[in-house]
A and B are shown apart, each in its own frame.
Chain A
């Protein structure tokens, strides 16, 4: 499903060049649930960003479903992101001025759909994560776990095949974290969603199929 071949990423400021990733080769099959682990600053988030087409590699190839995204322009990239990928962040990144259901609808705004269809899909996604009773609340009125669930609903509302989660339980206590993990496992088992999760927590990583370890931008084992 996701294929990275000899991917490297350098960041250049005025004087300093940092290598975030060095010669990564990774293949993730459909329906897999992968964790990426490593100490801080080892490039985990960068890797996720590249997979999510939020960034371009300095060298190497990123391919989704066998198609390389090398020459994709902004509009094409955006479409792929919209239709195939869903994101979950450590800080949730919910829009505080919008209600829960309006937040979940966001990805669907960038597709041609009627308002009714959007609403239906959003409600379905919220039901999937067990938040049907909170649809008109605002993010500030929810607990951390609930906010992350909204974020998950937002990520799955468009029925993407891939979910990319960057430390999804990082801001939550262990109980809430387990809840979230439970939802992700459910999605992976029932809907066969491919999930790539960056995490610090070995407990979480243990629940996944495979662990990729990074150190200073390189894969290690």
Chain B
């Protein structure tokens, strides 16, 4: 029976072509939306690498810094920042404080691309003060975090995450090893520790290669951090925020301070990613509804045209159930052709490695989801027309000229 239907569908491929095309296009739409959603889900389940609850980010607006290349600010500004850190730490409600160039969850950031041993390695970077690990609750898996004494070293200490360690050093222990080649007149970078993960872009994004550099507020060429991260004691009232800001403002009247709990930055960042997904998903849903309705109409009309054939088959001994089944199976074959076409198109992505961040697992899940969805839609849309086909009265059907 299947062979017979395959032959039937194949011989009718011209008139089936448009339906196959439509199913292929719908498949692609579902695939894109599903893969995106599964991508976010897959990332969400991995560990973040840091604690964000009870951490506040204070954006520090220092006049005329961070606005220009080579414009890190003056030593006076760095000293003022150091003073701010000290004063902030003295509050009872504050458990830890540190300076950072980049805010976790924030979309902006620092990045770099290095050529190490002939390989091109991309990474995200943050420059932080020593207190950062305490504030963010980082977990070390090898070596150690920065210390105050590190400021005096003849080389530049860095802490990297496991992804970067793997990319550069493979399975070897990176601690103590040099990292890349230094710029002229610059000291050599050397790895002093490895953190478990640090997904600065948030739970919805995949792991970056990450590198931490030490901000030594006493060094002459220091770049004063643009943010101050504060970990407050659980249960601290929001009124403390005002007191904190007022105090900092008093210490540095020229500077601007804006406090944002990391929870809020995280929410904004999630919205930034999830809103397009939700919109795309809603639009996709209505498009699929539209396709489903269209399929019902087209199938119904197709079967109307085949009344004589159906009548003949009934006369040859097909029961109503057999007709029902044939119509369903035929449509499954057509759908399969559409899905096949779509899969051929889509499978280029991992084969050509077009989207690096997409893991094969997410890709395969998206593919599966799209396939199942298209089959489900096809089955649903064939139910009514196939019932009508099965009800064809052979005598009536064969009577027509």
Q: Interface residues, chain A, CB within 8 Å of chain B?
A: 45, 49, 52, 54-55, 74-75, 78-79, 81-83, 87, 89, 91, 93, 95, 97-99, 102, 105-107, 109-111, 115, 154, 158
Contacts and interface: CB of A to CB of B under 8 A. Distances in A.
Report, nearest first, the 8 A-B pairs whose CB atoms are least far apart. A82-B317, A78-B319, A107-B316, A97-B11, A110-B317, A55-B395, A54-B395, A93-B312
Nearest to A91: B401
Contacts of B398: 54, 89, 93
A95 B309 contact: yes
Given A54-B394, A75-B321, A81 B12 contact: no
A98 B11 contact: yes
A95 B312 CA distance: 9
Given A78-B317, A78-B319, A105 B394 contact: no
Contacts of A83: 317
19 contacts: A75-B321, A78-B314, A81-B316, A87-B312, A89-B312, A93-B312, A95-B8, A95-B312, A97-B8, A98-B8, A98-B11, A102-B7, A105-B4, A106-B312, A106-B316, A107-B317, A109-B1, A110-B317, A111-B317
Nearest to A160: B317
Interface of B: 1, 3-4, 7-8, 11-12, 308-309, 311-322, 393-395, 398-399, 401
Contacts of A105: 4
Contacts of A99: 7
Contacts of A78: 314, 317-320, 322
Contacts of A82: 316-318
Nearest to A94: B312
Given A93-B398, A95-B309, A110-B322, A102 B4 contact: yes
Given A54-B315, A78-B320, A89-B398, 11 more contacts: A49-B395, A75-B320, A87-B312, A87-B315, A95-B309, A97-B12, A98-B11, A106-B313, A109-B318, A110-B318, A158-B317
A45 B399 contact: yes
A89 B399 CA distance: 9
A154 B4 contact: no
Given A89-B398, A95-B309, A98-B11, A154 B316 contact: yes
A79 B317 contact: yes
Contact of B319 (A75, A89, A93): A75
Contacts of B316: 81-82, 87, 106-107, 110, 154
A108 B398 CA distance: 20
B15 to A, nearest CB: 9
A109 to B, nearest CB: 6
Contacts of A55: 393-395
A93 B308 CA distance: 7
B232 to A, nearest CB: 75
Nearest to B308: A93
A158 B318 CA distance: 13
Query: Quick one: which of B7, B312, B314, B322 has the most chain A CB within 10 A?
Result: B312
